[in-house]
């Protein structure tokens, strides 16, 4: 995954990080996915190449999945081995494969760690954004059904795209990647990969919000796939990605559902929004290291090939990712109702407020979102919001729903701060928090009273900010306390 022009520095899709990589196995695997190279898709500041797979039977307004390969790989290798084309054929969506080269990175890794490539409007991130725009203009892609996935450096770049362009992607799937904002240098990228970087959910979420300041949601849904024996990008990154995106969605880090899937009993954890939909899921694949999980064969839940390194026989991740994206028909697609206009707040108090907006013709009800999470479905405006904390700031949005409950476009976000004093905050080390009665200890670790969040080791060297609201209930608020 690393190294633009330094000694061969790579975040590999399966090779050692500080030594030259062997050439990929003749770009082998299974050939045959008919990719079309596309030129002139934009200014292309990241100097990437764009390839399209257009299956037969593509509808007038297809969904789009952007796929990002791992280090030492190419668009063709990822298309031939990942199994994504199988589901594009089956469910009739468009595939765009972005490709980097050794001119960008000595090991053909996306430069997820370069500030010039991992920011909105810059470098490789901007080039991928231009590919989506070109696909929309050329193939009539439905802008409400655009998704992104990738492996390793491509997985880390998937994190970049979800954070830098949250309005563009409805969902993403990060395979053996790292959280957004973990690395802006080569050295930091090594640390993120192994042993991993531990931050609070609030701090990780703030990194995402800082990628597009002022954006109020909705936030993309995120699936995290990781091999439990990955030594290149350690599984701790799956936990940190979970922390990042659950916090972005306003959720805690306790799974609402757990299950096993596939022939190898992959462990799945699901984190649900207020309406019961899955905002974040984590899929930990047993027995495999660093790579894209595939399951060669002709069965309904099989896909991919293992003829090239870092495509590992276990479970067809493409099958489950396609389902998570809702492209297999298992999830409802957005309706055509317009966004409600003139969203406004009144009667703001310490703990509540009233939202009002212009009604939409054809709407049977409305969905009210607070901080990106749906909290209610009133039949009509106005709507009373209750249960807020004094001095707290929230962003609200509203979408119209048809008689079948299908939502249309959401309104622009409205930021409102309740009256009253903001919650009290303390910044101290874990020893001081315990001594002050804001935390307890168990097994050498400190835990915030009320929320029971793990603050880390009970020591003078670990520091956190705690917020108290309501009295006696403490939560981690690093970088997020008023």
pLDDT tens for each residue of 33-70:
999 999 999 999 999 999 999 999 899 889 999 999 99
* Domain at 36-325: CATH code: 3.40.50.1820
Q: Which has more confidence, 355 or 456?
A: 355
For residue 212, the model assigns a pLDDT of 94
Task: Quote the DSSP letter at residue 231.
Answer: S
Average pLDDT over residues 404-432: 82
pLDDT tens for each residue of 172-194:
999 999 999 999 998 999 899 99
Residue 101 above 60 pLDDT?
yes
Catalytic hit among 152, 279, 314, 392: 152
For residue 471, the model assigns a pLDDT of 75
Buried-exposed string 296-329: b where 16+ CB fall within 10 A, e elsewhere? beeeeebbbbbbbbbbbbbbbbbbbbbbbbbbee
Fold designation for 344-417: Immunoglobulin-like (2.60.40)
For residue 248, the model assigns a pLDDT of 96
Taking the C-alpha atoms of residue 450 and residue 440, their distance in angstroms, rounded to an integer, is: 10
Residue 327 above 50 pLDDT?
yes
Q: Flag whether the pTM goes above 0.85.
A: no
Average pLDDT over residues 440-456: 87
| Residue ranges of domains in the chain | 36-325, 344-417, 424-476
Closest CA to 69 of 327, 309, 324, 323: 309
Average pLDDT over residues 9-17: 34
Q: CB-based burial of residue 131 (10 Å sphere; 0-12 exposed, 13-18 middle, 19+ buried)?
A: buried
Furthest CA-CA distance within the chain: 67
Q: Put the strands of the sheet holding 463-468 in their side by side order.
A: 424-429, 463-468, 474-476
Q: Which has more confidence, 307 or 128?
A: 128
Strand runs (DSSP E) across 4-89, as ranges? 36-38, 49-53, 64-68
The tokens describing 357, both together, are 């907006």
Taking the C-alpha atoms of residue 118 and residue 110, their distance in angstroms, rounded to an integer, is: 9
As a dihedral over the C-alpha atoms of residue 241, residue 246, residue 247, residue 251, rounded to 10 degrees, the angle is -160
Residue 124: pLDDT band by 50, 70, 90 thresholds?
A: very high
For residue 377, the model assigns a pLDDT of 92
Residue 3 above 70 pLDDT?
no
Segment among 241-255, 375-389, 394-408 with least mean pLDDT: 394-408
Told to judge if 152 belongs to the known catalytic residues of this protein, a careful annotator would answer: yes
Residue 221 above 90 pLDDT?
yes
């Amino acid at each position: 995954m690393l190294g633009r022009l330094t000694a061969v520095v790579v975040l590999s899709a399966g090779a050692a990080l500080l030594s030259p990589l062997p050439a990929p196995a003749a770009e082998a695997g299974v050939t045959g996915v008919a990719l079309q190279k596309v030129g002139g898709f934009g200014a292309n500041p990241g100097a990437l190449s764009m390839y399209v797979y257009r299956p037969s039977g593509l509808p007038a307004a297809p969904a789009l999945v952007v796929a990002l390969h791992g280090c030492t790989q190419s668009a063709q290798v990822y298309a031939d081995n990942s199994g994504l084309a199988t589901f594009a054929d089956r469910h009739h969506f468009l595939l765009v494969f972005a490709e980097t080269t050794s001119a960008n990175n000595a090991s053909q890794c996306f430069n997820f760690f370069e500030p010039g490539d991992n920011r909105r409007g810059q470098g490789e991130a901007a080039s991928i954004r231009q590919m989506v725009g070109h696909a929309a203009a050329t193939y009539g892609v439905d802008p409400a059904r655009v998704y992104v996935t990738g492996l390793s450096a491509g997985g880390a770049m998937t994190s970049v795209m979800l954070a830098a362009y949250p309005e563009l992607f409805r969902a993403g799937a990060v395979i053996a990647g790292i959280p957004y904002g973990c690395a802006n240098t080569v050295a930091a990228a090594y640390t993120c990969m192994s042993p991993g970087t531990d931050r609070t959910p609030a701090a990780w979420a703030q990194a995402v919000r800082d990628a597009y300041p002022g954006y109020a949601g909705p936030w993309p849904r995120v699936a995290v796939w990781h091999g439990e024996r990955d030594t290149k990008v350690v599984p701790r990154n799956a936990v940190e990605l979970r922390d990042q995106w659950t916090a972005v969605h306003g959720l805690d880090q306790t799974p609402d559902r757990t299950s096993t899937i596939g022939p190898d009993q992959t462990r799945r954890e699901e984190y649900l929004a207020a309406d019961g939909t899955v905002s974040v899921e984590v899929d930990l694949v047993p027995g495999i290291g660093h790579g894209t999980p595939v399951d060669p064969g002709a069965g309904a839940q099989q896909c991919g090939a293992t003829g090239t390194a870092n495509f590992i026989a276990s479970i067809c991740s493409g099958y489950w990712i396609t389902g998570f994206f809702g492209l297999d028909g298992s999830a409802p697609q957005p309706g055509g109702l317009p966004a409600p206009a003139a969203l406004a707040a009144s009667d703001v108090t310490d703990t509540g407020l009233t939202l009002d907006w212009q009604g939409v013709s054809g709407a049977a009800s409305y969905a009210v979102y607070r901080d990106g999470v749906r909290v209610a479905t009133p039949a009509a405006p106005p709507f009373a919001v209750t249960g807020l904390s004094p001095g707290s700031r929230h962003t609200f949005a509203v979408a119209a729903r048809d008689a079948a409950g299908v939502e249309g476009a959401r309104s622009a976000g409205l930021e409102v701060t309740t009256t009253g004093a903001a919650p009290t905050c303390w910044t101290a080390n874990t020893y001081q928090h315990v001594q002050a009665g804001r935390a307890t200890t168990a097994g050498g670790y400190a835990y915030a009273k009320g929320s029971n969040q793990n603050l880390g080791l009970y020591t003078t060297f670990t520091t956190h900010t705690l917020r108290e609201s309501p009295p006696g209930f403490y939560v981690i608020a690093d970088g997020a306390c008023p």
